[in-house]
Chains A and B, each alone.
Chain A
Amino acid sequence: MAVDEGPRNYEHPAYDYLEQMPGLSLAMTTVDKVLEWSATNSLWIFPMATSCCAIEFITAAASRVDIDQIGSVVRPTPRHCDVMIVAGTITVKMAPRVKKLWEQMPEPKWCIAMGSCAISGDFYRDIYSVVPGIDTVVPVDVYIPGCPPNPDQVLLGLQRLQDKIRSQRDGVSTEPETRPETAKMILPANKRVGDPDRDPLLTDAQHDASRNLGVGTNTDRAKDARPIGAITEDEAANVRGTVDDK
């Protein structure tokens, strides 16, 4: 491949892959390097955007941050794309659809979990209808923390993905990215109904708390409300009817 011998007037990633030979107007490279360069700089994105993180993602695609500068364009179909960015809370009803869309993407493919809802479910984690982390459904390569993340963090996350792809193509084994306390987050803080380890006191306390809402009485709700689980042994025994009323 012939290149200009003159001084470099601008930076371009391609120069890192060309080996200039002194005294000659030729430089040589390998097909692998060209393929790697093209693979890492044409990451087409499928936005699996369900909520407010999507707004930050739109900003990342707009002119100020402009993820198009590293070759990432956004396509509205999974069949054209290499990267799925999960931006937003995924509900139990949505999770099978996410998996279906992920399976429609051609190999090789990568997944980015953007924002704390996609990473762990965040404060919706213990709600009955929310998936506690998208990595319980599809494998995740890069986590972008934040609630929501800045647009430039989205760019940084894509660059981390590029680094990961380069390492993979070079044959370097990469450590899978793990989110902190993965095990703790996959298991909800409260054991689910039907779990043999679930404390029966918890179910009683929940029913007691639902009775404690002051329905039909003139109780001061703020004064009488108790957090779920804040139930004394005596009260719990009363609920089960094992202690006589005194």
Chain B
Amino acid sequence: MSIYEQLRERFDLPEEPPEGEPVVIPVDQHVAFATALKEAGFTLYVTVCAAHFPSVQPKAKKGEEPPPMTTEAWEVATVLRSVGTGSETFAWRVRVERPVVPTLYSLFAGADWQEREQYDLVGVVFENHPDMRRLMMPEDWDGHPLRKDYAIDTRVAPWR
């Protein structure tokens, strides 16, 4: 029985895993999902990746009313890997409308700097993280550069 089938009943997942993209989990089940995976042998924290989806106006078809604006959202994808013979990876994502996601630091110590990097560049706050500081940009930087609405030029006065 694959890991997806094991988790399907408990977390009410779709019948088949989505083709080519990680399965979406509600944010309140995020930590429980990670705990279940860790107990199933996925003990290696590979990566976390956040993305920003700005509020956009979808293109209208000819002669039709334009569809409503989409709401701003953030997605956080996490990848875990099992260790040993038959090693495999498992990825899932959560989609939130406020950039706040519970941290996995209490389960995986390796999440520390990975989550700090995503906070620095995309601005997703990992709740209850013990040390939520910037990792790459200067400490007094204004804004999060990988958000889609970030202007390509700096707000910091000239290069110090």
Contacts and interface: CB of A to CB of B under 8 A. Distances in A.
A203 B149 CA distance: 10
Interface residues of B, number: 23
Contacts of A137: 159-160
A213 B154 CA distance: 21
Interface stretch (B6-14, B55-63, B109-117): B55-63
B152 A128 contact: yes
A127 B58 contact: no
A219 interface: yes
Interface string B83-123: 00000000000000000000000000000000000000000
A215 B154 contact: no
B54 A128 contact: no
Contacts of B160: 92, 95-96, 137
B154 A216 contact: no
Interface string B132-160: 00001110000001001111111110111
A131 interface: yes
Interface stretch (A15-23, A39-47, A71-79, A187-195): A187-195
A93 interface: yes
Given A128-B145, A211-B54, A216-B70, A203 B159 contact: no
Contacts of B53: 215-216
B69 to A, nearest CB: 10
Interface of A is mostly: loop
A210 interface: yes
A136 B152 contact: no
A59 to B, nearest CB: 30
A221 interface: no
A192 B54 contact: no
- Most A CB within 10 A of own CB, among B54, B59, B150, B154: B154
Contacts of A131: 159
Nearest to A96: B160
A84 B94 CA distance: 48
A129 B59 contact: no
A217 interface: yes
A228 B54 contact: no
- Most A CB within 10 A of own CB, among B154, B159, B160: B159
Nearest to A136: B159
22 contacts: A92-B160, A93-B138, A96-B160, A126-B153, A127-B152, A128-B153, A128-B154, A136-B158, A190-B153, A192-B153, A192-B154, A192-B155, A193-B153, A193-B154, A203-B151, A210-B148, A213-B148, A215-B56, A215-B70, A216-B70, A217-B56, A219-B59
Given A136-B159, A192-B154, 13 more contacts: A92-B156, A129-B137, A188-B153, A190-B153, A192-B155, A193-B154, A203-B151, A206-B151, A207-B149, A211-B56, A217-B56, A217-B58, A224-B59
Interface of B: 53-54, 56-59, 70, 136-138, 145, 148-156, 158-160
